[in-house]
Amino acid sequence: MLTAIIVAAGSSRRMGFDKLFAIIAGRPVIAHAISAFEQANSVAEIIVVAGGDRHDEIRKMSRDENFKKVRSIITGGERRQDSVRAGLENLNPDARFVAVHDAARPLVSPEQIEGVFEQCRVAGAAALAEPISDTLKRADVDLMVTASVDRHQLYAMQTPQIFERALIEEAYRAVFADKVSVTDEVSAVERLDRKVFLVSTEDFNFKITYPRDLALAEFVLKQRMH
> What pLDDT digit, counting tens, does each position of 148-176 carry?
998 889 999 999 999 999 999 999 999 99
Of the segments 14-23, 33-42, 150-159, which one has the largest average pLDDT value? 33-42
**Is the predicted pLDDT of residue 23 greater than 70, yes or no?**
yes
pLDDT digits (tens, 9 = 90+) for 168-224: 999 999 999 999 999 999 999 999 999 999 999 989 999 999 999 999 999 999 998
Answer with the residue of higher pLDDT: 18 or 28. Answer: 28
**Is the predicted pLDDT of residue 10 greater than 90, yes or no?**
no
**3-state SS assignment for residue 161:** strand
pLDDT at res. 15? 62
pLDDT digits (tens, 9 = 90+) for 42-92: 999 999 999 999 999 999 999 999 999 999 999 999 999 999 999 999 999
The residues pairing with 45 across neighbouring beta strands, listed in sequence order, are 3
Q: How far apart are CA 226 and CA 224, in angstroms?
A: 5
**Is the predicted pLDDT of residue 11 greater than 80, yes or no?**
no
Quickly state the pLDDT bin for 14 (edges 50, 70, 90): low
What is the domain count for the chain? 1
Closest CA to 154 of 181, 139, 138, 134: 134
Q: 11-45 burial, b for 16+ CB within 10 Å, e for fewer?
A: eeeebeebbbbbebbebbbbbbbbbbbbebebbbb
pLDDT at res. 151? 85
- Average pLDDT (9-22) is 74
pLDDT at res. 16? 59
pLDDT at res. 35? 98
Q: How far apart are CA 145 and CA 16, in angstroms?
A: 31
pLDDT at res. 17? 66
**Is the predicted pLDDT of residue 12 greater than 80, yes or no?**
no
Q: Which of 3-12, 22-31, 62-71, 125-134 has the weakest average pLDDT?
A: 3-12
CATH of the domain at 112: 3.90.550.10
